[in-house]
Amino acid sequence: MSKFAVSAALTAAIALLPAIADAQTPKRGGELRFAVSAEPPDYDCHAATSFAFIHPVRPHYNTLLKFDPANYPKVVGDLAESWEQSADGLTYTFKLKQNVKFHDGTPMTSEDVKASYERIRNPQGGARSIRQAVYEDIESIETPDEYTVVFKLKKPNASMLTNFASPWDCIYSAAKLKEDPKFPERNILGTGPFKFVEHAAGSHWVGERFEDYHVEGRPYLDRYRAIFITNTAARVNALQAGEVLSEFRGHSPADRDKLVAALGDKVEVLESPWICSLVVTFNTEKKPFDDARVRRALSLAIDRWQGAEALSKIALVRHVGGILRPGYELAATDKELEQFPGFGRDINAAREEAKKLLAEAGVKDLSFKLMNRNVAMPYTPVGVYLIDQWRQIGVTVEHDQPETSAYISNLRSGNFEAGLDFHCDAVDDPNLQLAKFVSANRSPINYSRANDPKLDELYEAQKGELDAEKRKQILREFERHALTEAYNIPVVWWHRIIVNWKQIKGWHMSPSHYLNQDLQDVWLDQ
């Protein structure tokens, strides 16, 4: 290469540097339009369970802690400036930021944090809270000064810090709660980066920048508009036409491919394992599912490794995992998983063992109904796959997909033989994920109706174990026992696919569709 060519290349590179740097410098302004496939019924974080709530409402609020958007699962302060955990794990002391205001201009203090958490753990005056159990270990909440909050626990809880970063625990104004404990149900008054502008029922939700937001220079966006689009095809069309720039829950592989084919490099595809799994639940009060050998045989018949790979081409599932999300620091590794019943790599040997177990249990020509949710993605393809897997050990299964309401009602009332259940959480946390597997008499979401004291003991042991390595060992023991008894058997974990227009910057992918939705750092490159 001649000196001239080198010099010209260098000059061009130097000339481009400001442009490159400029492209990465956040720009203020603009309206972020995104689709949400459902709509929140009311405005109260403490009684909400759905992403349909988080996506439009979360930008109005802050929580005590939150997950670092770019480094999940690292916990960072949101309203808390710093925090300390006592050596015995019984005291958590939070120092709050001092320049935080609610959208009505009143300052946020420790009283607001206390009032909000008291409302979550012990709602009064007709207020609703659905996370009382999460905070049952809290003994008291103290506010030694305006900007310090101290949580005292009855016993150590290894998940407590994670709990304080929950996206559902919005901090409300103590004054407003005192006036009316139900105030947040129909009103938005937070400290978050965006003020509430409008909720047009059935249509859209608008928020605009809170100029007094406590983080310097944030948010970047002037406003955001969440548009409720329930129909999947309409959502994809809106994204393709640029009417919305994202849909933050997730797309199917087919929709991703369609959008990429149509929009090429105008869009960015982000993918991640998802904290959602599909679990087959056997009704242990119905024969022959009261026999562990039958349940285990049905688990052994499923080729999860091949199935996950094949299903990932047509459905939003991809990962083989046990009780905890594969990839999570406390989850079983592939090697460990392979030791559990139903997770071995040799499917032929597993199916032979399954047939033997059925013969030992005296079960011949087994046939039953698999109740599945009447939602195409990912329930239907996984249900069909399971039926085919069980057919290969001579079991005949009928696919029954009642509408969602009847499906939930049947699961709860025990009106099913086997059901394809789901388990989604906002965060990776054993206390949350194990709830599907502990005894039914203590967990309302274990629909197998089985009670197993050993699992309950192990659950309590891991919950109070502050040493991560020791906790991991207890979790493996729990997992082995749960998968051997096979009351509920994990089949496959979901895979989250997001297609964003490239103008969207500062939004980070996470394994949960409930996280990273405060839009504080999001900006538009336009």
Partner 1 sequence: MLRYTINRLLLMIPTLFGVAVLVFVLLRLMPGDIVELRYLMDGGQISPEVLAQERARLGLDKPIWEQFVDWMTGIFVGDFGVSMWTGRPVWEEISSRFQLSFQVAVMATILATLIAIPLGTLAALFKDTWVDRLIQVFAIAGLAVPSFWLGMLIILSLLLAFNWIPPLTFKPIYEDPWYNLSQLIWPALAVGYRYSAVATRMTRSTILEVLQEDYIRTARAKGVFERLVISRHAMKNAMLPVVTVIGLEFAFLIGGLVVTEQVFNLNGIGKLFVETVTRKDYTMVQALVMLVATFFIVINFIVDLLYAALDPRIRYR
Q: Which residues make Cβ contacts (< 8 Å) with residue 136, sequence separation at least 6?
A: 121
Q: How far is Cα 304 from Cα 320, in angstroms, rounded to an integer?
A: 6
Tell me how far, at minimum, the Cβ of 383 lies from partner 1, in Å: 17
260 near partner 1, rule: CB under 8 A: no
Minimum distance from CB of 408 to partner 1 (Å)?
5
Nearer to partner 1, 275 or 350 (CB): 275
Q: Which of 2, 24, 348, 405 binds partner 1 (CB under 8 A)?
A: 405
Distance CA 222, CA 208 (A): 6
Contacts (Cβ under 8 Å, ≥6 apart) of 199: 43, 56, 205, 206
238-270 burial, b if ≥16 CB within 10 A, otherwise e? bbbeeebbbbbbbbbbebbebbeeebeeebbeb
Q: Which helix (H) or strand (E) holds 454?
A: helix 453-464
Using CB under 8 A, pick the residue from 98, 140, 333, 409 that binds partner 1.
Answer: 409
Site membership for partner 1, residue 240 (CB under 8 A): yes
**Binding-site member from 11, 86, 231, 367 for partner 1 (CB under 8 A):** 231
Binding of residue 363 to partner 1 (CB under 8 A): no
Using CB under 8 A, which of 422, 451, 477, 480 touches partner 1? Answer: 422
* 187 binds partner 1 per the rule CB under 8 A: no
> For residues 195 and 235, which CB has a smaller minimum distance to partner 1 in the complex?
235
Going by C-alpha positions, the residue among 164, 195, 213 that lies closest to residue 66 is 164
Whole-angstrom distance, CA of residue 133 vs CA of residue 20: 50
Question: Please, are residues 85 and 156 in contact by the beta-carbon 8 Å criterion?
Answer: no
Least separation, in Å, of the C-beta of 33 and partner 1? 9
Closer CB to partner 1, 53 or 282, in the complex = 53
Give the footprint of partner 1 on residues 473-512 (CB under 8 A): none
Find the binding residues for partner 1 in span 40-69 (CB under 8 A): 41-42, 49-51
Note whether 501 and 191 are within 8 A (CB).
no
Nearer to partner 1 (CB atom), residue 107 or residue 242: 242
Residue closer to partner 1 (CB basis): 227 or 427: 227
Longest dimension (CA), the chain: 86
Binding mask 385-404 for partner 1 (x = CB under 8 A): -----------------xxx
SS3 content of the chain, % helix, strand, coil (to 5): 35, 20, 45
Stretch in the footprint of partner 1 (CB under 8 A) among 234-242, 250-258, 303-311, 332-340: 234-242
Q: What is the CA radius of gyration of the chain?
A: 25
Instruction: Kindly state whether residue 376 participates in binding partner 1, applying the rule CB under 8 A.
Output: no
- Select from 108, 138, 165, 229 the one that contacts partner 1 (CB under 8 A): 229
| Plot region of 494 (φ>0 → left; ψ -120 to 50 → alpha; else → beta) | beta
Instruction: Count interface residues toward partner 1 (CB under 8 A).
Output: 50
Is the Cα torsion angle 370, 372, 378, 380 positive or negative in sign?
Answer: positive
Contacts (CB under 8 A) with partner 1, residues 119-148: 126, 128-130, 132-133
The one segment of 239-247, 252-260, 338-346, 377-385 that binds partner 1 by CB under 8 A: 239-247
Across the beta sheet with 138-145, what order do the strands follow? 80-85, 91-96, 148-153, 138-145
Site map 428..467 versus partner 1, x via CB under 8 A: ----x--x-------xxx----------------------
Give Cα 510 to chain centroid, integer Å.
9
Candidate ranges 238-246, 451-459, 466-474, 497-505; the one touching partner 1 (CB under 8 A): 238-246
d(Cα 294, Cα 375) in Å, to the nearest integer?
28
> What is the contact surface with partner 1 in residues (CB under 8 A)?
41-42, 49-51, 126, 128-130, 132-133, 185-186, 200-204, 227-231, 233-234, 237-238, 240-244, 402-406, 408-410, 412, 422-425, 432, 435, 443-445
